[in-house]
């Protein structure tokens, strides 16, 4: 067993402990069916893929439910289950069109939707010419996670973040870790009623310094995210967003006024990759990053390095140059390790040397904070002061060993370290 595997085992066990400690969150949940309740992942309690296929074969259903309950799938509004109305509120960004059609303007897809139909993300519905979100206050998963798991490395290190997600996503990445919730409709997963004030009070109760909108794609539960951020701020809890960044300019600007930090999964520096692997577009994500900078938003970038698909020297250098030109050197960049899953099982995990090569390229371009991710125990997890080169935050996985930053300054040379401390 390598040092990395050994450390990963320790980190997994720490997260299992944190998960157990937050287990009394079940006071807001209806009873679960027996399942993988001890799993550390956000989809804890889900059926595994084999059980999922078995269940769907047994019951003739279209999908499994992340929290372990199987329900019949029927997206028809007429068949909405009792109590579903409390999850429905009018969407914030759309235009009315003739013949009761609407155009959703929340993300660059700009879906045009007929009456009684839904957009691509499956969680927004046209009812008689008015557009609604179906997932307000409707999380299908929740956890108290270390903020390093998001990962945010320059936001309140060593604290917990109350993490929530609803069903749905506006892209379909072939490597998605959480496809069981991101690629489903709200009726296909077991959800709970957790209004924004409850989110904020649970965050306080479990000593989380922030609320994280994460796991699936928070842009599709935009209205719930904004309201929860407001409720969080009323009780001094920050809000951090983990997103693919595929959002239109106006809603993004409004979001920047309501949350404290955004981590963008920049999946590649190639339009072709975005088309083939993500089912999205690169340019709107780059434009969004520039908007975040203009709005003064604290932003970190994660780049999942997928062997043979987005790991060439040319692409990595192009990405690093773009970041330096448009965002500057202080945006942290995390090169994280891919593991085969979902629709990309034919590729091996990213070799550590590839991640080190990506880091070396970004370092050489002048980016100050470049990390190697998903390799616990690697020195590329630490934060180094760009002034004196000393380690100012030492990490192993999600654990912080030492912090040498006071009032945002390096303890050794007093240089400013960018971030929210
Ligand atoms: S948010 Fe959903 S409905 Fe709106 S444009 Fe994007 S994918 Fe379409």
Instruction: Say which residue the tokens 């004030």 belong to.
Output: 197
Query: For residue 109, what is the DSSP state?
Result: T
What's the CA-to-centroid distance between 408 and ligand 1, angstroms?
Answer: 39
Nearest CA, atom 6, ligand 1:
107
Cα torsion 217, 223, 224, 225: sign: positive
Query: For residue 382, what is the DSSP state?
Result: S
pLDDT (0 to 100) of residue 33? 26
**CA 122 vs CA 74, 91, 113, 216: distances in Å:** 12, 13, 11, 13
214 Cβ partners below 8 Å, 6+ apart?
A: 42, 145, 150, 163, 164, 165, 241, 242
Cα torsion 92, 96, 100, 102: sign: negative
- Exposed e or buried b for every residue in 37-51, given b needs 16+ CB within 10 A? eebbbbbbbbbeeee
Average confidence (pLDDT) over 253-275: 98
Helix, strand, or coil (residue 361): helix
For residue 94, give the ligand 1 atom closest to its CA: 4
Which of 3.20.130.10, 3.40.50.300, 3.20.20.70, 1.25.40.10 is the CATH number of 141-383?
3.20.20.70
Q: Is the pLDDT of residue 73 over 70?
A: no
Average confidence (pLDDT) over 168-183: 95
Query: For residue 306, what is the DSSP state?
Result: -
pLDDT (0 to 100) of residue 342? 95
What's the CA-to-centroid distance between 342 and ligand 1, angstroms?
Answer: 23
C-alpha span between 62 and 38 (Å, rounded): 26
Residue to mutate (ligand 1; options 90, 108, 110, 124; most atoms within 8 A of CB): 124
Q: Is the pLDDT of residue 14 over 80?
A: no
- Sorted by where each begins, the domain ranges of the chain are 84-133, 141-383
Q: Is the pLDDT of residue 64 over 90?
A: no
pLDDT in tens, 279-288: 999 999 999 9
Average confidence (pLDDT) over 319-323: 98
pLDDT (0 to 100) of residue 388? 98
Confidence tier at 383 by pLDDT (50, 70, 90):
very high
Contact (Cβ atoms closer than 8 angstroms) between residue 338 and residue 376: no
Q: Is the pLDDT of residue 213 over 70?
A: yes
Give the other-Cβ count within 10 Å of 417's Cβ.
Answer: 23
CA distance from start to end of the chain: 36
Cα angle, residue 332 at apex, residues 403 and 322 outer, rounded to 5°: 160
Average confidence (pLDDT) over 234-252: 98
C-alpha span between 185 and 335 (Å, rounded): 31
Residue to mutate (ligand 1; options 111, 114, 167; most atoms within 8 A of CB): 111
What's the CA-to-centroid distance between 145 and ligand 1, angstroms?
Answer: 28
Confidence tier at 84 by pLDDT (50, 70, 90):
confident
Confidence tier at 306 by pLDDT (50, 70, 90):
very high
pLDDT (0 to 100) of residue 131? 98
Q: Is the pLDDT of residue 23 over 60?
A: no
Instruction: Say which residue the tokens 């303007």 belong to.
Output: 105
Percentage of residues of the chain with pLDDT beyond 70: 81
What's the CA-to-centroid distance between 121 and ligand 1, angstroms?
Answer: 6
Average confidence (pLDDT) over 5-21: 46
Residue to mutate (ligand 1; options 121, 222, 280; most atoms within 8 A of CB): 121
Cα torsion 19, 21, 22, 27: sign: positive
pTM exceeds 0.75, yes or no: yes
Average confidence (pLDDT) over 168-175: 96
Conformational region of residue 382, where left means phi above 0, alpha means psi within -120 to 50, and beta covers everything else = beta
C-alpha 397 chain-centroid distance: 18
pLDDT (0 to 100) of residue 9? 55
Tell me the pLDDT of the chain averaged across its residues.
Answer: 85
What's the CA-to-centroid distance between 232 and ligand 1, angstroms?
Answer: 26
Average confidence (pLDDT) over 96-115: 98
Can you name the residues that pair with 341 across neighbouring β-strands?
344
Contact (Cβ atoms closer than 8 angstroms) between residue 285 and residue 246: yes
pLDDT (0 to 100) of residue 82? 56
For residue 123, give the ligand 1 atom closest to its CA: 2
Pocket residues for ligand 1 (CB within 6 Å)? 104, 106-107, 109-111, 119-121, 124, 170, 220
Confidence tier at 44 by pLDDT (50, 70, 90):
very low
Residue to mutate (ligand 1; options 107, 132, 169; most atoms within 8 A of CB): 107
What's the CA-to-centroid distance between 230 and ligand 1, angstroms?
Answer: 23
Nearest CA, atom 3, ligand 1:
119
Nearest CA, atom 4, ligand 1:
104
pLDDT (0 to 100) of residue 81? 53
pLDDT (0 to 100) of residue 300? 98
Average confidence (pLDDT) over 180-195: 94
pLDDT (0 to 100) of residue 83? 75
Contact (Cβ atoms closer than 8 angstroms) between residue 239 and residue 258: yes
Average confidence (pLDDT) over 288-294: 98
């Amino acid at each position: 067993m390598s040092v990395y595997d050994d450390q990963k085992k320790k980190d997994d066990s720490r997260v299992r402990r944190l998960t157990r400690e937050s287990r009394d969150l079940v006071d807001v949940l209806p009873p679960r069916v027996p399942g993988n309740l001890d799993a550390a992942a956000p989809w804890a309690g889900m059926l595994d893929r084999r059980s999922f296929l078995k269940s769907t074969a047994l019951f003739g259903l279209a999908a499994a439910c992340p929290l372990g309950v199987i329900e019949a799938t029927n997206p028809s509004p007429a068949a909405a289950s009792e109590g579903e109305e409390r999850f429905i509120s009018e969407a914030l960004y759309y235009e009315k069109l003739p013949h009761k059609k609407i155009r959703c303007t929340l993300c660059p897809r700009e879906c045009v939707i007929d009456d009684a139909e839904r957009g691509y993300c499956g969680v927004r519905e046209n009812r008689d010419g008015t557009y609604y979100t179906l997932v307000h206050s409707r999380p299908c998963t929740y956890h108290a996670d270390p903020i390093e798991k998001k990962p945010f490395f320059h936001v309140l290190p060593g604290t917990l973040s109350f993490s929530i997600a609803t069903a749905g996503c506006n892209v379909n990445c072939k490597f998605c870790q959480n496809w069981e919730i991101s690629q489903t409709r709200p009726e296909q997963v077991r959800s709970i009623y957790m209004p924004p004030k409850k989110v904020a009070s649970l965050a306080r109760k479990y000593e989380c310094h922030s609320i994280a909108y994460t796991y699936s794609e928070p842009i599709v539960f935009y209205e719930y995210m904004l309201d929860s951020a407001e409720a969080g701020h009323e009780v001094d809890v920050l809000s951090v967003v983990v997103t693919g960044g595929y959002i239109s300019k106006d809603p993004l600007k409004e979001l920047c006024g309501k949350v404290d930090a955004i981590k963008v999964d920049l999946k590649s520096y190639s339009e072709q990759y975005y088309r083939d692997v993500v089912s999205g577009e690169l340019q709107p994500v780059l434009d969004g990053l520039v908007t975040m900078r203009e709005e003064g938003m604290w932003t970190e970038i994660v780049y999942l390095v997928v062997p043979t698909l987005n790991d060439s020297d040319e692409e990595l250098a192009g990405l690093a140059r773009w970041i330096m030109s448009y965002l500057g050197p202080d945006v942290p960049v995390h090169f994280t390790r891919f593991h085969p899953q979902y629709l990309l099982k034919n590729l091996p995990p990213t070799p550590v040397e590839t991640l080190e090569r990506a880091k070396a390229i970004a370092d050489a371009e002048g980016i100050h904070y470049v990390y190697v991710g998903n390799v616990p125990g690697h020195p590329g997890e630490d934060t180094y002061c760009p002034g004196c080169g000393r380690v100012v935050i030492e990490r192993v996985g999600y654990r912080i060993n030492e912090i040498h930053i006071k009032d945002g300054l390096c303890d050794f040379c007093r240089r400013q370290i960018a971030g929210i401390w």
